[in-house]
Chain A
Amino acid sequence: DADVTQTPRNRITKTGKRIMLECSQTKGHDRMYWYRQDPGLGLRLIYYSFDVKDINKGEISDGYSVSRQAQAKFSLSLESAIPNQTALYFCATSDLGQGSRETQYFGPGTRLLVL
Chain B
Amino acid sequence: GDSVTQMEGPVTLSEEAFLTINCTYTATGYPSLFWYVQYPGEGLQLLLKATKADDKGSNKGFEATYRKETTSFHLEKGSVQVSDSAVYFCALTGGGNKLTFGTGTQLKVEL
Contact = CB atoms under 8 A, between A and B. Distances in A.
Interface in B63-111: 89, 93, 97-99, 101-104
B46 A41 contact: no
A57 to B, nearest CB: 11
Interface residues of B, number: 19
Contact of B46 (A42, A90, A103): A103
Nearest to A90: B43
B51 interface: yes
B43 A104 contact: no
Interface residues of A, number: 23
Interface of B: 32, 34, 36, 42-46, 49, 51, 89, 93, 97-99, 101-104
A103 B103 contact: no
Contacts of B45: 106
Contacts of A107: 43
A62 B69 CA distance: 37
B32 A102 contact: yes
A60 interface: no
A41 B97 contact: no
Interface of A: 4, 33, 40-45, 48, 58, 90, 92, 96, 100-109
Contact of B43 (A33, A42, A44, A108): A108
Nearest to A96: B97
Closest 5 CB pairs of A and B: A101-B32, A106-B43, A42-B103, A42-B101, A106-B44
A108 B45 CA distance: 10
Given A106-B44, A108-B43, A101 B101 contact: no
A90 B93 contact: no
Contact of A48 (B32, B36, B98): B98
B29 to A, nearest CB: 12
